[in-house]
Amino acid sequence: MAGLVFAGLLLAATGVQAHHSFAMFDHDHQIKISGTVTHFQWTNPHVYIDMDSTDEQGQFKHYTIECANPGILDRIGWKFNMIKVGDKITTIIAPLRTGEAGGLLKQVTLADGRKFGNGAPAGKANIE
């Protein structure tokens, strides 16, 4: 625990230098979306997941979800081919502040139950 606190302090001291600000996303009001992958874009500077989702009220939405880049994701265990069109996945995202159907990935749960984060700069999920 002390180690974690120490690591946290170090991160604060050295600053996590991300590509850009994540201020267009609302990190305090994260949402959970389940649905079907329609597109998976493994590119720099960002990886994108596109998914169709119908919520409990029957409302259909198409979401675009921004992820970190292939390098960051590779280093935390992702693979370029681990998400495919048609996969049923669940994501936790920090939604766009504009209210559009998009956001920054915090966590993805794959069809086989494996969970992945989105790297240190993007931050962690604060809901389950």
Partner 1 sequence: MIASMRTVAASVAAVITSLCAGAAQAQAAAPGHQALTGAWDRYGTVNLDPRVTSAPPVSAPPLKPVYEAEWEAQQKAAKEADARGQPQFGGYAQCLPDGMPAMMMAMFPMEVLQTPGQITIIEEAYNQVRRIYLNEKQLPIEDAEPGFWGHSVGHWEGDTLVVNTVGIKEEVRFRGVPHSANMQIDERLRMLSKDIFEDQVTVTDPEYLTQPWKFTWKYVRKPGYKILEYVCEANREYQDPQTGGIRMRIGAPGPASSAPAPAAPKP
Q: Which stretches of the chain bind partner 1, using CB under 8 A?
A: 7, 10-11, 13-17, 19-24, 26, 38-39, 41, 43-46, 48, 50, 52, 62-64, 66, 69-72, 74, 85, 96-98, 100-102
The secondary structure of 51-100 as a DSSP string is EEEE-TT--EEEEEEE---HHHHHHTT--TTSS-TT-EEEEEEEEBTT-S
Residue 112 to residues 66, 81, 109, Cα–Cα distance (Å): 22, 14, 8
Identify which of residues 13 and 128 has a Cβ nearer to partner 1 in the complex: 13
Identify which of residues 122 and 128 has a Cβ nearer to partner 1 in the complex: 122
**Which residue's entry shows tokens 């790297």?**
119
Identify which of residues 15 and 58 has a Cβ nearer to partner 1 in the complex: 15
Shortest separation between residue 114's beta carbon and partner 1, angstroms: 22
Shortest separation between residue 116's beta carbon and partner 1, angstroms: 18
Can you read off the two tokens belonging to residue 3?
A: 């180690």
